[in-house]
Amino acid sequence: MTVKLYDTTLRDGAQQEGISLSVDDKLKITRRLDDLGIHYIEGGIPGSNPKDVEYFKRVSKLSLANSLVSAFGLTRRANGGAATDEGISLLLAADTPVVTLVGKSHSAQVINVLETTLQENLAMLSDSISYLKSKGRVVFFDAEHFFDGFKSDKEYAMQSLRVAIEAGADSVALCDTNGGMLPADIDSIVKAVRQETSADIGIHCHNDADMAVANTIAAVQAGVSHVQGTINGYGERCGNANLISIVANLKLKMGIDCMSSSQLSSLTQTSYYIGEIVNVHPNNSQPYVGTRAFTHKGGIHVAAINKMEESYQHVDPSVIGNTKSVVISEVSGRGNIQYTLKEMGLENLIDRDQVGELLEKIKVQESKGFQYDGAEASFELMVRRHIEGYVPPFTLVDFLVLVENQRRSPQDQGEGDMLAEAMVKVEVGNSLMHTVAEGNGPVNALSNALNKSLLEYYPSLVEMRLVDYKVRVVDSGQDTSATVRVLIESTDGLHRWNTVGASGNIIEASWQALSDSVEYFLVMKND
C-alpha cells in the first residue's frame, strides 16, 4: 500500500493564532519538508497577500528532490467562468505543478454560506477543475465539510465528489473541516465512498475533538491513499492533524513505506527546527518527538526497561531521532539512580549503600519542595557530595541582601526606583572572600556578588550566564508563607544545565539554585 504525504503547514498551519511567517521562513520550511520526503507542500494562496506572491516566485527557483509545491485556492465564483475568474488566473500565475481547490460538498453550506444553488456549486467545481486540467496542472479537490455534509445529505456530498472526479481531479480529499468526527464515523463514511469510486481519495482532518491523528489513521485503514496535515499539528482553533505522529504511525505501526528510514530518523529534529521558525514553544509531551516521549520516572518502570527496554517503550526512540532518558524523583527506585549514575560516569564511585542513602535523601528533599526531574545538575552535585574526598570549589559563609526604595515621593516613579544590593562571604580553599555588588533585583545582585568573589580564582566563570529563572509556589494554600521552588537554567554557550532550590524564603531558594549552578559549572570545567 502506498500513502502520499501532503503538508499544509505553510497555509493551514500558518492560520494558527500567533504564527506569522516571512517569505524566508516559508522557504526554509519548504526545504526541510523536502528533505523529510514530503510528497506535496501546500505553499499558500496566490494573490492573497504580498508574501505569498513573493513565495511562489522564489520557490520555483528551489531545486526540490522529493516534493511538489501546490498552490491553494477557491473554485471560480458563482455564475462566472473559470477562464476569466481572477482567482483561477492567480492560481495559474503561481506556476506550481499542483493546484489544490477547495469547494463545498455540504448542501447547507452551499445555500447558507456560499449563497448559490446546489447545481451552480457543482458547475463551479466542474468548470474550475476541468479548466486547470486543460492547462496541464495536477488538481486536488478538497471537499470541504464532507463528513458533516455526508451525514446531512449523503447524495449531494457524493455528487460533489463524482463531479470533481469526472472533471479530471487527480485526487479528492475528504475534509473533516469542523474537526468533530470520531474514528468510527471516518471509517464508515470512507468505506462508503470507496464502494462508489476507485479514484484516489485523501483525508484532511482538524483536531477540534482531539481525534485528528486517529481519524487520519482510520481513513488510511479504510482506504484513502493520501493524507494531509501540518507539522506538530499547527492550525486554526485546535489545529490540524499532526503530520509528525501520522508519519510515525504509518511507517512504524502499519508498515507503510511513506518515507525512508533515514528520513524518519530526522523526524524529531524536523519537529524542533520548524517549531523554532514558527516561534511556538515545543510540546515536551508530544508523542514520538517530545523530550518527555521516552522519559521514565517511576522506579518500577526504570527497573523493567533496564532488563527489557520495550517493556515501557512502544518503539525504539532512535528510529525517529529521539532519545530515552531516566529522571530522578521521590517515586524513583534504585534502578533510576543506578541508570543515571551510569549516564554520568559515576557508577563506580557510589556503592549500593550510598545508592540507598541517595534515594532517601531525594525523598526527604522533595517533601520539602525540591524537584530533581527537572534539575539534573543539582542531582549530580548531590551524588558528588556523597563521594568520599569531594571538595566543593567554594563554601558559603554568609550572605545578606538589601532592597531599597529610592522614590522620594509617590509622583517620583520610573526605572531604577528600587536598588538591590547583596553581600556574600565565601571560602575558597583557605581564603575568605567578602564582596558586595548591586544588581537588577536581589537574585541578580546575589549572582553578581558571587561571581565577583570567585572570578579571581575561577576566571572561566566569565563563560557562564543564567538564561532562565522560574519560581513556583509549592503549597499555595499557605499564601505568602508558602514554600517556593526556584529553577534556574544556565549555559556556558555550549551546554545547558538546570538546578533547583526550595524554601519558604524566595531569596534562600534562589541562592540554593544559583550556587548549585555555579558549583556545577566549576566542577564540570575542572573534571
Q: Which CATH number covers residue 439?
A: 3.30.160
Q: Is position 469 within any domain?
A: no
Nearest Cα to Cα of residue 9 among 228, 223, 171: 228
What pLDDT shows up at residue 298? 64
User: Are 160 and 181 contained in the same domain?
Assistant: yes
Q: Is position 234 within any domain?
A: yes
User: Are 133 and 197 contained in the same domain?
Assistant: yes
Grid cell at residue 522: 566549576
User: Are 324 and 220 contained in the same domain?
Assistant: no
For 146-155, how does the pLDDT look when each residue is reduced to its tens digit (9 = 90+)? 999 999 999 9
Give the pairing of strands 98-104 and 295-296: unpaired
What is the band of 375 on the pLDDT scale with cuts at 50, 70, 90?
confident
Q: Is position 509 within any domain?
A: no
User: Are 171 and 104 contained in the same domain?
Assistant: yes
Domain of 201: which CATH number?
3.20.20.70
What pLDDT shows up at residue 520? 92
What pLDDT shows up at residue 279? 87
Instruction: For residues 433-457, give the mean pLDDT.
Output: 91
What pLDDT shows up at residue 382? 85
For 7-39, how does the pLDDT look when each residue is reduced to its tens digit (9 = 90+)? 999 999 999 999 999 999 999 999 999 999 999
User: Are 58 and 182 contained in the same domain?
Assistant: yes
User: Are 203 and 72 contained in the same domain?
Assistant: yes
Split into its structural domains, the chain has a count of 3
User: Are 129 and 110 contained in the same domain?
Assistant: yes
Render 303-364 in DSSP notation, one character per residue.
HHHHH-GGGS-SS-GGGGT---EE---TT--HHHHHHHHHHHT-GGGS-HHHHHHHHHHHHH
Grid cell at residue 289: 518527538
Percent of the chain whose predicted confidence (pLDDT) is above 90: 66
What is the band of 496 on the pLDDT scale with cuts at 50, 70, 90?
confident
Instruction: For residues 42-57, give the mean pLDDT.
Output: 93
**How many CA atoms within 13 Å lie on the side-chain side of 37?**
16
User: Are 353 and 421 contained in the same domain?
Assistant: no
User: Are 196 and 230 contained in the same domain?
Assistant: yes
What is the band of 329 on the pLDDT scale with cuts at 50, 70, 90?
low
Domain C-terminal end among 259, 276, 311: 259
User: Are 327 and 223 contained in the same domain?
Assistant: no
Domain boundaries, position 124: 4-259
Nearest Cα to Cα of residue 71 among 163, 157, 135, 122: 135
What is the band of 258 on the pLDDT scale with cuts at 50, 70, 90?
very high
For 201-213, how does the pLDDT look when each residue is reduced to its tens digit (9 = 90+)? 999 999 999 999 9
Q: Is position 102 within any domain?
A: yes
Grid cell at residue 13: 498551519
Least confident of 108-122, 136-150, 414-428, 513-527: 414-428
Q: Where are the alpha helices (DSSP H) in 117-182?
A: 118-134, 146-152, 154-166
The 10 Å Cβ neighbour count of residue 307 is: 8
226, 220 Cβ separation under 8 angstroms? no
Residue 97: pLDDT above 80? yes
Instruction: For residues 498-517, give the mean pLDDT.
Output: 92
Q: Is position 526 within any domain?
A: no
**How many CA atoms within 13 Å lie on the side-chain side of 408?**
1
Q: In a 10 Å sphere around its CB, with 0-12 CB exposed, 13-18 middle and 19+ buried, how is residue 193 labelled?
A: buried
Q: Is position 467 within any domain?
A: no
Q: Is position 128 within any domain?
A: yes
User: Are 60 and 180 contained in the same domain?
Assistant: yes
Which residue is it, cell 583557605?
430
Instruction: For residues 367-393, give the mean pLDDT.
Output: 84
Helix (H) or strand (E) holding 507: helix 506-526
User: Are 10 and 65 contained in the same domain?
Assistant: yes
Q: Is position 288 within any domain?
A: no
Domain C-terminal end among 457, 477, 501: 457
